[in-house]
Amino acid sequence: MQRPAAGPREAGAGAAAPVRVGILGLGTVGCGTVNVLLRNAQEITRRAGRRIEIVQASARDIGKKRACPTSGIALVPDAESVVRNPDIDVIVELIGGLDPARALVLEAIGQGKHVVTANKALIALHGNEIFRAAQERGVMVAFEAAVAGGIPIIKAIREGLTANRIEWLAGIINGTSNFILSEMREKGADFADVLREAQRLGYAEADPTFDVEGVDAAHKLTILAAIAFGIPLKFRDAYVEGISRVTRLDVSYAEELGYRLKLLGIARRTESGVELRVHPTLIPRRRLIANVEGAMNAVLVKGDAVGPTLFYGAGAGSEPTASAVVADLVDVVRTLTTDPTNRVPHLAFQPDALEDLSILAMEEVRTSYYLRMHAEDRPGVLADVTRILADLQISIEAILQKEPAEGESVVPIIILTHRVVERSMNAAIARIESLGPIQGRVTRIRLEHLHADWH
């Protein structure tokens, strides 16, 4: 293992010498970081033991009006020169996306600089490579801001829960989707309008399809599963389904039945493999996590010793995310002179102790279901549907038959089922859809009770 070129240099520079930081990208999170570091400079220095000074930042448009002061920060147009600046000890990557972020982070590591990033896409897709490079170079790559913004969930799982065998976790980890679902339910708002508002508030990704199609949540879930179970990052094996097809009708039927619709990321160990799945999920309304609204995030983590724990807070936005970036900076500063082998491992488990557990295909996952179908109002239809379910060993928890809408002859039928493997449910849905009196497609929403003893 090589020693970092820049890291330990400050050990000889005296305890009071500031740690010099370069920021790549001065957008929502970049400016939040500048603002928090400036406002709380004294307290942060008292905690870190060293002053943290942003000396340089890359910004594509230097003359642009920004949401933070930049006097005292040398602004340069190209990120590469910040990464190569020999006077900089730590690089904070807040550009987002894979390209050029991946190359810049690897270059920073190669230069012996520590890295702090909020980039979940980068960690989920290239984290295995990045952590390997960082380990070889003896530098840290910190990524608290990448998951659930300001909630210190990485720290909690990686350090606070380190005694536990973590059995499962389930989280609302995309603020934009949760904001959209909340506004649709509470105000009957339109999907597109709420998405625009989330973009205006700085919650959404540069490409908001990442938010609404579940990709951003899957990036974060991939990271959480890795640090919870000690497995490599396996984003490509995750099941990903977003909220873009959710209708207000299902949101309100589910409410009538005592359930709330959330976009959940679920990671769970089972005997046959690890579940890694993001999809709209109905959960009992009485659960604390069901009442997390707006851009707030929450992550339920079940450890065998501690039991269920719930972490709640702002998952997106300028200063909440900056809170995590600055916390990482302080962590980096505090351990600059620590022998790299004594630092907390990037993925919580020692790199040579990661287990390559397989991820279950969605067809193999067992869950409960909400089904909504529309049937012609004639005798025997419900009996045909329930017979199909019974033939496939799917037991029913509840059935709700609604009145046909004014002037219509089709009746909406809602069925809640007990747990069954998804393959059987796929077969049942195909058979139900082929029944003559069933109109159109069957809507399926997965349902989880999130019991503490979920094994």
Ligand X SMILES: NC(=O)c1ccc[n+]([C@@H]2O[C@H](COP(=O)([O-])OP(=O)(O)OC[C@H]3O[C@@H](n4cnc5c(N)ncnc54)[C@H](O)[C@@H]3O)[C@@H](O)[C@H]2O)c1
Q: How many CA atoms lie within 13 A of 341 on its CB side?
A: 3
- Closer residue to ligand X (CB): 120 or 372: 120
How deeply is 439 buried, as exposed, middle or buried, from its count of CB atoms within 10 A (0-12, 13-18, 19+)?
middle
Catalytic residue, candidates 113, 155, 220, 234: 220
105 binds, among Na ion, ligand X, ligand HSE, none (CB under 5 to 8 A by kind): none
Q: Which of 411, 279, 346 is nearest to 141 (CA)?
A: 346
Asked about 220 being catalytic, the answer comes back as yes
End-to-end CA distance of the chain: 40
174 binds, among ligand HSE, ligand X, Na ion, none (CB under 5 to 8 A by kind): ligand HSE
Binding site for ligand HSE (CB under 6 A): 149, 174-176, 203-205, 211, 216, 315-316
According to DSSP, the β-strands at 114-117 and 74-76 are unpaired
Q: Which of 133, 67, 147 is nearest to 102 (CA)?
A: 133
> Residue number with the shortest CB distance to ligand X?
27
Residue burial 356-370, b: 16+ Cβ < 10 Å; e: rest: eeebbebeebbbbbb
Q: How far is the CB of 150 from Na ion (least distance, A)?
A: 6
Joined together, the tokens standing for residue 196 give 């625009």
Binding site for Na ion (CB under 5 A): 144, 147-148, 151, 153, 324
User: Which amino acids are annotated as binding site for L-homoserine, given as ranges?
Assistant: 205
According to DSSP, the β-strands at 52-58 and 19-24 are parallel
- Closer residue to ligand HSE (CB): 202 or 308: 202
144 binds, among Na ion, ligand HSE, ligand X, none (CB under 5 to 8 A by kind): Na ion
C-alpha 410/C-alpha 437 separation (Å) is 9
DSSP string, 398-429: EEEEPPPPTT--EEEEEEEE--EEHHHHHHHH
176 binds, among Na ion, ligand HSE, ligand X, none (CB under 5 to 8 A by kind): ligand HSE
Binding site for ligand X (CB under 6 A): 24-30, 58-60, 79, 94-96, 100, 118-120, 145, 149, 202-203, 205-206, 316-317, 321
- Output phi, psi for 191, to 5 deg: -50, -55
- Closer residue to Na ion (CB): 228 or 324: 324
- Output phi, psi for 308, to 5 deg: -75, 135
- Closer residue to Na ion (CB): 88 or 324: 324
Q: How far is the CB of 121 from ligand HSE (least distance, A)?
A: 10
Residue 5 one-letter amino acid: A
User: Which amino acids are annotated as binding site for NADPH, given as ranges?
Assistant: 120
User: Which amino acids are annotated as binding site, given as ranges?
Assistant: 24-31, 120, 205
- Closer residue to Na ion (CB): 23 or 151: 151
Q: How far is the CB of 311 from Na ion (least distance, A)?
A: 9
Q: How far is the CB of 169 from ligand X (least distance, A)?
A: 18
Q: Return the SS3 of 177.
A: helix
DSSP string, 103-135: HHHHHHHHTT-EEEE--HHHHHHHHHHHHHHHH
Q: How far is the CB of 27 from ligand X (least distance, A)?
A: 2
27 binds, among Na ion, ligand X, ligand HSE, none (CB under 5 to 8 A by kind): ligand X
- Residues noted as catalytic: 220
